[in-house]
Amino acid sequence: MPHFTVVPVKDQAQARYDSLEGINWVDYNDTGQDSPDHQDTVTYDGHGNHKEDSPFLGSADAAGKKNDFYDRNLALFEEELDIRPKVSSLLSRLVNYTNVTQGAKEHEEEESAEASRRKTPKSPNMGTLMGVYLPCLQNIFGVILFLRLTWIVGMAGIIQSLMIVLMCCSCTMLTAISMSAIATNGVVPAGGAYFMISRSLGPEFGGAVGLCFYLGTTFASAMYILGAIEIFLKYLVPQAAIFHTSDSAMLNNMRVYGSLCLSFMAVVVFVGVKYVNKLASLFLACVIISIVSIYAGAIKSMTHPPEFPICMLGNRTLKLDDLSMCTKTEIKENMTGNSALWERFCPLGNASSDQCDDYFIQNNVTKIQGIPGLGSGIIRENLWGNYLQKGEILEKAGLQSVNAHSSIENFINYVSADITTSFTLLVGIFFPSATGIMAGSNRSGDLKDAQKSIPVGTILAITTTSLVYISSVVLFGSCIEGVVLRDKFGDAVQKNLVVGTLSWPSPWVIVIGSFFSTVGAGLQSLTGAPRLLQAIAKDNIIPFLRVFGHGKANGEPTWALLLTGLIAELGILIASLDMVAPILSMFFLMCYLFVNLACAVQTLLRTPNWRPRFRYYHWALSFLGMSMCLALMFISSWYYAIVAMGIAGMIYKYIEYQGAEKEWGDGIRGLSLSGARYALLRLEVGPPHTKNWRPQLLVLLKLDEDLHVKYPRLLTFASQLKAGKGLTIVGSVIQGNFLDSFGEMQAAEQAIKNMMEIERVKGFCQVVVATKVRDGIVHLIQSCGLGGMKHNTVVMGWPYGWRQSEDPRAWKTFINTVRCTTAAHLALMVPKNVSFYPSNHERFTDGNIDVWWIVHDGGMLMLLPFLLKQHKVWRKCKMRIFTVAQMDDNSIQMKKDLATFLYQLRIEAEVEVVEMHDSDISAYTYERTLMMEQRSQMLRQMRLSSAERQREAQLVKDRHSLVRMGSLYSDEEEEVVEVPPEKVHMTWTRERCEAERRNRNNAPENFRELMSLKPDQSNVRRMHTAVKLNEVIVNRSHDARLVLLNMPGPPRNTDGDENYMEFLEVLTEGLERVLLVRGGGREVITIYS
């Protein structure tokens, strides 16, 4: 077996190549010597400049990595490496990627100049517990747990309360599963729900739901502030109330103190956000201590229930601050007398008075235990609901009572319901206590492993809070008397917080703890909402929000904070926790609905980028979560749901029409692609029925040398004809080589798109590069469109100035296009004098659209005016249809038949039949035909002369020396003599000289021949038709706004092409606006429904 020895040799070719590129290599391996420094020198080009950096790499990396670009192992890809990174470079960039946090953690660093100078990015290091679990707990537990959960249990009963808790927590759990799938599908920069929805469903949905989430967070701050003020005025410092007497006194007190508290909190957020973040752990500790004290009190109540007796008159609950009054008699100085309670029910305090309340006289006063304890069996009484109307007195069902009349004035002595309650109302009030699940995703920039921490921490937090809520419902129903549970403000238990009466060791633990937790939650909401608004504003998808993207020098959203404060003040002015809670429930439910929708859409579309690390999701779960969100919205408050959806819809439409267009690879775009694919496959089944036929346009545009649209009114006409319906493709041809003209093609596409936007043409643009313009037009006619969405009508302009041009290519390209459309069975429209067509801003208040129906073309001539009249420009024009009758036709019967036909077509139009009598061919017609043929013959001889040959050769040479734009109706391949662009060298022989002398002698003979030419009889007949028709049309339609007539087909023999152009000119002479129409060979209009 042969052996091979590999000997390393110096690659001299590579060294020469390097010197050509201007690169200096230092390669110690070539010399066999070791060097302490194996780094290559920095590379420069021949001019002493750094070589072009890759767009993927920063300039800081470029100096150290430039020489690697020309590694000998990658020499094959060295041109690619100028614009694309090596894999190692890309990976190093991705590993060093850090999220920009949305929170205000960097606020403290920004305040010191030193910190800004040493701006070294700090790697995120928060785990699941501190980064996701505890923040979610703090955001989920809130004011509803302490202020309203006992009242919800009392009104709805344990069973229905458990249903409410399970519905809300199931909704948030399903949403958390969908959110976990989205959050683990790649790196999620800080931005939370807004970022996830906008990048999954697009800027329209993202902006709409982002603003809804912002409004929900803003109203949440108002709700927390109202809760804090309620605790302050009801339980901490009741004497601080300013208003006392009127029915709305409490609401006015809430407005005054709530506004003051909001102003103070806004100042705190503006001045010292760092203190808010540092106090977050203190607020969380208050929440946890308060919850633990509730459980401790419930356990202690099994053996030693707390002493909180309540006073009952009959079965009605009395509102007493001093329980010593809970008796009808009292002993004073060893004498039994009436108690102070008589003074409340009897104006004179006399038992025999006729003015005493009958119910008070006939019923006894008793005391019952407000907190019977866990082992009392009170749970049986609290299983079922007891909904109340506004003003209804709280009654205990088991107590004996005599039903007697009670005066209205004494109702203030009883504990009564302040609002009418129902199951749906309680759902809306409780749901905010289940929100806050986005806290972990909002901190994704601070997490060490966000893709692991967000799902685990969020789902654990929801599980924990759900268990706390469920156990709290059961404990409240098992430990607390029903009338106390239904007492919202604790009037029956000496104005104590109801949940505080159960806590251990003191009610003050709950009162103080809940106060600080609600204040902290309000500060957190007031901190997060402006940053969310700033993120939306910086995305620049809603133009009028741009001002809120700016802030202080350190990035603090000053203007966004101001707007947030103003919106929160609206919630404060409502002044009722029970009315604000359903509002923010709507906005949060809207947000959660779209999180579930985003996950479901991405899962069903199976987009290649949808690869979440969180595997425990399914599209059915997302749809179930979406359905639950929608159901909860309408269950809690159907009118708030409609308002919230209306707000989101208006924002969506505003972004769609006014906002900046963003391409974020969203799922809605993928959904559109899937829907388009499905629809296109359905259209492939067969051609559309005649009832569904509409002109799908291919508009052929001509561009000038500066790539500007030469006849923009073609697009105007297309927009008026289509009115935004169906397919419109705008095409053009650039003459040249594709590799050389690609940039020119892109510029032309952009110019056409800009003009389409100006003319409001909704459609697509396609520009092709071809060596011959004629071939490019044929390519457009053959290949434009996709599947069933292909054009069926071609719109092209008239080749103006073809008579004056000695170059026949313009009209030959035009006629070739007519032949191609006929061969492809496509309809053709040629607007003549298109510059005189109206713009979209003009309005015709009167006038006619005249249709000259000479031959049947499938109904195109009848359908086009009807479509034009749908547009506001032509709407007030009347339609007239003219048809031509010959000598042997019955014109009267033709008119009747045509009127009947139009009636069955449901088209309103005047009908006229024009009789054309047989007449001799006039001298004018003969003269016109003769001039046409003489001109054709003379031009043909001129093109054959040698002088023209040399002039044409010079023209070709000049054209080769210029970079020019190809005309749509001119070509390079026709009648161009291929002459070398250099010198024309001719050898004069004797035969050549004699032939040239004979040609000169024959020139006068050729001229005489031209003068004695007799016109062809077929051309005379055609000219006669054109002249006679033109006379009739001009006579009847000279003042028409638009004239539509059949376009005769080109001759089968190409020798008569030039004559064909002359016939069309004669036919349309003297008419301002003409639309020549050729049908596509199929019926496009029907009388059947």
| pLDDT single digits (tens) 43-96 | 444 443 433 333 333 444 444 444 444 445 555 555 555 666 666 666 666 555
Peptide bond into 608 cis (omega under 30): no
Q: Are the C-beta atoms of 440 and 336 separated by less than 8 Å?
A: no
Q: Are the C-beta atoms of 445 and 189 separated by less than 8 Å?
A: yes
703 three-state secondary structure = strand
Task: Kindly indicate the confidence band of residue 805, based on its pLDDT and cuts at 50, 70 and 90.
Answer: low
pLDDT at 187 over 70: no
789 three-state secondary structure = strand
Residue 149, pLDDT score: 93
pTM (two decimals): 0.68
406-424 confidence digits (pLDDT tens): 777 777 888 889 899 999 9
User: Which of the pair, 488 or 342, is modelled with greater confidence?
Assistant: 488
Residue 82, pLDDT score: 62
Measured CA angle at 162 (ends 157, 163), to 5 deg: 100
pLDDT at 209 over 50: yes
Could you tell me how far CA 1056 lies from the centroid of its own chain? 56
Q: Are the C-beta atoms of 225 and 262 separated by less than 8 Å?
A: yes
Task: Kindly indicate the confidence band of residue 167, based on its pLDDT and cuts at 50, 70 and 90.
Answer: very high
Residue 604, pLDDT score: 87
Which run of H or of E encompasses 116?
helix 113-117
208 three-state secondary structure = helix
Residue 1089, pLDDT score: 54
Task: Kindly indicate the confidence band of residue 1060, based on its pLDDT and cuts at 50, 70 and 90.
Answer: confident
Lowest mean pLDDT among 314-323, 429-438, 665-674: 665-674
Mean pLDDT score, 193-199: 72
Residue 150, pLDDT score: 93
Report which listed range, 97-101, 547-551, 801-805, is most confident: 547-551
Lowest mean pLDDT among 397-401, 499-503, 720-724, 870-874: 720-724
226-253 confidence digits (pLDDT tens): 999 999 998 998 888 888 876 688 889 9
Residue 232, pLDDT score: 92
63: closest CA among 79, 55, 51?
A: 51
Q: How far apart are CA 418 and CA 267, in angstroms?
A: 34
Q: Are the C-beta atoms of 655 and 204 separated by less than 8 Å?
A: yes
Mean pLDDT score, 716-740: 85
Q: How far apart are CA 566 and CA 689, in angstroms?
A: 58
DSSP-derived letter for residue 799 is: -
SS3 content of the chain, % helix, strand, coil (to 5): 55, 10, 35
pLDDT at 990 over 90: no
pLDDT at 856 over 70: yes
Residue 535, pLDDT score: 82
For residue 698, give both structure tokens: 């291919």
Residue 173, pLDDT score: 95
Mean pLDDT score, 144-173: 94
Bridge partner list, 731: 700, 766
> In Å, how far are 906, 910, 1088 from 903, measured between CA atoms?
5, 11, 12
917-952 confidence digits (pLDDT tens): 665 455 555 555 656 555 555 555 555 554 455 555
Mean pLDDT score, 804-816: 73
pLDDT at 783 over 60: yes
Specify the residue for token string 């035969």.
991
598: closest CA among 631, 627, 617, 622?
A: 622
Q: Which amino acid is at 458?
A: T
Taking residue 359's Cβ as centre, other Cβ atoms within 10 Å add up to 20
User: Which of the pair, 152 or 988, is modelled with greater confidence?
Assistant: 152
614-656 confidence digits (pLDDT tens): 888 999 999 999 999 999 999 988 888 999 888 888 888 888 7
Residue 1027, pLDDT score: 80
Residue 80, pLDDT score: 53
For residue 804, give both structure tokens: 């004056």
Q: How far apart are CA 320 and CA 839, in angstroms?
A: 81
Bridge partner list, 337: 330
Lowest mean pLDDT among 12-26, 162-176, 473-487, 496-510: 12-26
Please state, for a pLDDT cut of 90, what percent of the chain lies above it: 20
431 three-state secondary structure = helix
* Average per-residue pLDDT for the chain: 77
Mean pLDDT score, 770-794: 87
Residue 262, pLDDT score: 94
Q: How far apart are CA 293 and CA 290, in angstroms?
A: 5
Count Cα atoms within 13 angstroms, Cβ side, for 1019: 22
Residue 902, pLDDT score: 81
pLDDT at 36 over 50: no
